[in-house]
Structure 1
Amino acid sequence: MYADVTVVGAGPVGLVLAAELALSGVTVQVLERLAEPETSMKAGGINVPTAEALDRRGLLPAAERVHRETMERMGAAFGRKAGAGAGAAATPSDGRGAGAQRQMTGHFAGMVIDAGLVDWDDPDLAAHAAVAGARMVPQRELEGLLATHVERLGVPVRRGVEVTGFEDTGDGVLVSTTAGAIRTGWLVGCDGGHSTVRRLAGIDFPGTDAELTGRVAVVDMADSSVLDEGWVWSSRGAYRRGPQPGRVFTVEFDAARRDDAENAGTRPHRGAPAEPVTLEEMQASLRRVSGTDVTLTALHGAATRWSDNTRQAATYRSGRVLLAGDAAHVHSPFGGQGLNLGVGDAMNLGWKLGAVVAGWAPEGLLDTYDTERRPLGAWVLDWTRAQAGVMRGDAKSVALREIVAELLATRSGATYAVKKISGVTQRVEVPGDHPLAGRHAPDIRLADGSRLANHSHAGGFMLLDRTPDGAFARAAATWAGRVRSVPDGTDAAGAARAEPAGVLVRPDGVVAWAADEAEATPTAVTALEAALHRWAGAPAHEPVA
């Protein structure tokens, strides 16, 4: 079967990418080596940009249902109502972020951030509260949501098909698989830390070697009272019990086993060549780091082993072959950044590659995938490296951990960390000096009671126009089919709407242009037209007289 784009890997990154490509109007197929979805322990939640990506595609209600179910399970396990306690966020959002996000904090190197210290009125946090009730979405449930999404879009997912080789012919890619040869226009590796696509493409994977071994599992214990809840450190390592029922997490600084010759696979990833974690291995690790005689009586599902091997691909693109997610970068799971970083890659790449296939991409558009995503990937790698350094059991790291703990116990420190963990401060370089330029679009409520995100379910560019005469929409009219204008001139009482007066949002949710002028000045219109040419290509047709 020929497809404009073939995606290798049916994890969250591959599924998001496939969906975005389908919304762009290109043909896409997904190849997955595994015959069935993985059951190993993975990410337990998503950050704000990932939740907002679901929101923009109409998946927020489903994500909120998963969130509520997850919180109910956690609340029942600890004998409290869903939503109580640190890290909770039980109520679905009404689009105004009514309190739910106020409980979503996270941790840095196991030091849980006190929600009561966070300045939830900080503009960066307050501007992204609509998805507050959709943050506790475990990866397994997320994959289920996305699988249904791509099925609705008609994207075929071919399981049990492994890529064994490929040739970039210049005008396409000839892919060898266990199911036969496939010809495709473009090939994207979303196939994890041990990426076959990356290896076959000859793309280097430099970084830092592993120093620790981590394990995570859901277990039954003979007497769980011997372990404290939350994170506990010792000279031997660290462990965490909870917050999900039966979940235990260990970290041992033991000059971790080196990965295979690919130097990959620091986090749980697709098809890692490693033996399964046994009940005995998990119990031994937990006893070593806790210093107790804790006894495990059952292991539920597939436990996961990982390290802090941290690497980033030398390039995210080689000809007609691209990388996204763990295929492009691997690191420890500290802070829960990996899944979200990969989804961000997919959202960024999807519409750009779709534009190239459709023939309207402006020159150099696909190159911006690497230039925009690489700095964010490098930041995540350093964010996780820093946490590994703070978690060591040596005297220097213990002293550093105490200092970091003091900083996190301040209002400014807690707010800073939550903003970083949640992803609300992420930005890419785009022309323009408006404060929103390059950032993810904030929550914007419209006069009719909807939000701007409600109008982006079909993908494409969104243009908010609050000018009295629709001047911004007129300027974008020649890009019809790529840009959808959403007028919002007055509220229900007939009063002028608040700033910003105009916002151009790319398909990945990034603000490409914004203006605060109450009137559409010639300068603002000129800047909008420049942004449209830069990101949406040449006009689709001549303006109507």
Structure 2
Amino acid sequence: MHDVVIVGAGPVGLFLACELGLAGCSVLVLEREPESGSPLKGKLLGIRGLSAASIEAFRRRGMLHELRTASGVHDTPGADAEAHEPTSLRGGHFAGMRLDPGRIDAAALPYRLPGAAMDGMRTYLEAVETTLSEQAIRLGVEIRHGVTVSALTQNEKSAIAHAGEHEYAARWVVGCDGGRSTVRGLAGFSFVGTEPQFTGYTMQVTVAGAEKLHFGTNLTPTGMYLHFAAGHIAMADFDGGAFDRSQPLTRDHLQSVLRRVSGTDVTLTEVHLASSFTDRAMQTTTYRRGRVLLAGDAAHIHSPLGGQGLNTGLGDAMNLGWKLAATVHGHAPDGLLDTYTRERHPVGAKVLDWSRAQVAVMRPDPHCQAIQGVVRDLIGTGDGATYVSERLSGVSIRYDLGSEHPLVGRSAPDLHLEDGTRLSDLMRDGRGVALDFSTARSLRGAAEGRESRIRYAAGPAEDDLGLGAVLVRPDGVVAWAGERTPDREAFEEAAGQWFGGPES
């Protein structure tokens, strides 16, 4: 019996598998597709933007350089590939209205060190999955393709995924099997939300008269379309989601929609690849039922506007991984696994509302178009651009951990010790980190009493942000922050809350 069976070998399932493998868990990943590759995951239709939060996660696990290489992002000659900031994908958009990167005030973010705090990186799904699957295999994770889960049973000690005549038993099962999750349905999760307003399309085509289409994102009186290079076009037709997966995506239909939303008479001479989607926004009421958990699109779906889906799912995996591993190994404090839903469900709910807000602004009617004008004015200001960029980058996420300290619950800044060590360097083994900048070193014994769960590092920092010490969870979230003279008793309490008692 495995410790964990993960259903779904997409980016979320693979990232979670890496986290669990790093912690020494026995992990089996089941994927229904017979092979990992797909044209829809390639460099055109599979293109995705990684947020600052996701890039931090890859950096903390030492996978950023490999991901950059797989994505075709070349490092600056002579630069440290892990330390160097990724190729900028700064700014983003709200409902197709682009932000001016020059108006974004990174200094306005609390406790962020100088640097490209909100920059992102362009990649594509195949590159992400390749990087993660190779890392998972190195960590001893087993990945099986061509396995379709058809039933799920569980008891107080285990859960079993059934696939035909085969049974895959584990102490825990995690569904990372996408928006049409089989695990979600089999385990009886409630899935609630709002119905779609549009059918969206993404396609790689050959277009006669392509010069009539404006590049970039275009909001029109009849819909929306995005025109990229090499015949890559996306569009939204506000038909209430009626067409999605209900009929074949023929050349005539795609041409008709494109002509309508673009207001042009372009002709599609050839359709190479095409798929559809909607802005249906749904979320499970909890992310755990017994010994079955959900992450990524299995737990929440919404439109791809703003590129939040992949990044939110990776955040789920980073949050869940260390908590589930601690539970497997028997040293999790009481209720640790329940904090997964408590912390990540509100994040997912905000992303769904962010998606709904964009759809509402994009609707092709005079009232919504009037709102577009107001929103354009607002995001054209420094405060407006910074607010939207904070939301897109993920750096504004803060979990309520019961502390008034403004850094607690936030992603830790990548603090640099004077010996050249970075916080991200200390997190590659998946342990928590106690950084002690004070001269007293009074936290050493308390941290080293949990040395298999907490790495202790001491010494001056290039910029300690006025702190005496910080305790960082394995997912990079600050669990506790102390002033110039850290309170050992408070540190002990925080360490016990997140990492359990001292080791014998």
Q: Please give the TM-score of this superposition, normalised by the length of structure 2.
A: 0.93
What is the deviation of 1:525? 1.2
Pick from 59, 64, 69 the counterpart of residue 65 of structure 1.
Answer: 69
Which residue type is aligned with residue 176 of structure 1?
H
The alignment status of 1:223 with 2:180, answered yes or no, reads: no
Say if 1:374 and 1:177 are closer, same or farther in 2 by CA, change over 3 A.
same
CA contact (8 A) 1:96 1:129 kept: no
- Other-structure match for 1:361: 332
Contact 1:128 1:424 in 2 (8 A): no
Q: 1:389 aligns with which of 336, 343, 360?
A: 360
Shift of 1:258: 7.7
Structure 1 residues 23-43: Cα deviation after superposition (integer angstroms, max 9, x where no partner)? 122111100001122332345
1:256 and 2:237 correspond? no
Distance 1:327 1:342, change over 3 A: same
Q: 1:443 aligns with which of 403, 409, 414?
A: 414
Contact 2:106 2:117 in 1 (8 A): no
Check whether the contact 1:8–1:190 (CA below 8 A) recurs between aligned residues.
yes
Aligned equivalent of 1:478: 449
SS at match of 1:206: strand
- Structure 1 partner of 2:255: 283
> Is 1:123 equivalent to 2:94 in the alignment?
no
Listed one character per residue, the Cα deviations across residues 82-118 of structure 1 (whole Å, up to 9, x for unaligned) are 99xxxxxxx98774759x65x6110000001111222
Deviations along 1:469-504, whole A, 9 cap, x unmatched?
A: 42222221111101001222366xxxx965322111
SS at 2:161's partner residue?
Answer: strand
1:323-338 map, 5 Å: 323-338=294-309
Displacement of 1:275 in angstroms is: 6.4
Q: Distance between the aligned counterparts of 1:27 and 1:310, measured in 2?
A: 34
Question: Given the superposition, is the C-alpha separation of residues 283 and 486 from structure 1 closer, same or farther in structure 2, using an over 3 Å criterion?
Answer: farther
Larger displacement relative to structure 2 (373-382 or 133-142): 133-142
Name the residue aligned to 2:39.
Answer: 39
Q: 1:131–1:138: structure 2 CA closer, same or farther, 3 Å change rule?
A: farther
Aligned with 1:348 (options 306, 316, 319) = 319
Q: For residue 59 of structure 2, what is the aligned residue in structure 1?
A: 55
Given that residues 450 and 503 in structure 2 are in contact (C-alpha distance below 8 angstroms), is that contact kept between their aligned partners in structure 1?
yes
1:406-425 correspondence to structure 2 within 5 Å: 406-425=377-396
In the TM superposition, what is the alpha-carbon distance from 1:388 to its structure 2 partner? 0.2
Structure 2 counterparts to residues 395-406 of structure 1, below 5 A? 395-406=366-377
With over 3 angstroms needed to count, the CA separation of the structure-2 counterparts of 1:125 and 1:446, relative to structure 1, is closer
- Deviations along 1:314-351, one digit per CA (max 9) or x if unpaired, are 22111001111111000000110011111111111111
Per-residue deviation at 1:231? Answer: 1.7
After superposition, where does 1:458-477 map in structure 2 within 5 Å?
458-477=429-448
Per the alignment, residue 270 of structure 1 pairs with none
Q: How many residues align?
A: 497
CA deviations 1:220-251 (Å, max 9, x no partner) are: 32332110111222222111112x54321101
Query: What is the CA distance between 1:424 and its match in structure 2?
Result: 0.7
Q: Give 1:284 shift.
A: 2.5
Residue 58 of structure 1: SS of its match in structure 2? coil
For structure 2, the residue ranges without an aligned partner over 5 or more in a row are none
CA contact (8 A) 1:9 1:30 kept: yes
* Inter-partner Cα distance in structure 1 for 2:53 and 2:465: 24
Q: Give identity over the alignment, percent.
A: 42
Residue aligning to 2:476: 509
Distance 1:219 1:445, change over 3 A: farther
Q: Distance in 2 between matches of 1:39 and 1:114?
A: 33
Structure 1 residues 92 and 297, CA gap change in structure 2 (3 angstroms) = farther
Find out whether 1:190 has 2:176 as its counterpart: yes
1:30-83 C-alpha deviation (Å, 9 max, x unpaired): 00001122332345111111111100000111233355x36x9xxxxxxxxx99
Structure 1 window deviating more from structure 2 (250-259 vs 331-340): it is 250-259
Q: Secondary structure at the match of 1:191?
A: coil
Answer yes or no: is the 8 Å Cα contact 2:6–2:175 preserved in 1. Answer: yes
AA partner of residue 505 (structure 1)? V
Offset, 1:143:
1.2
Whole-Å Cα distance in 1 between the matches of residues 375 and 128 of structure 2?
Answer: 33
**Which residue, 493, 498, 504 being the options, matches 1:535?**
498
Per the alignment, residue 75 of structure 1 pairs with: none
Letter in 2 for 1:254: D
Pair 1:232-2:218 in alignment: yes
In structure 2, the partner of 1:180 is 166
Report the CA distance shift for 1:274/1:456 in structure 2 as closer, same or farther (over 3 A).
farther
Aligned to 1:500: 467
1:279·1:296 contact (CA, 8 Å) conserved in 2? yes
Q: Please state whether the residue corresponding to 2:236 is helix, strand or coil.
A: strand
Identify the residue that residue 4 of structure 1 maps to in structure 2: 3
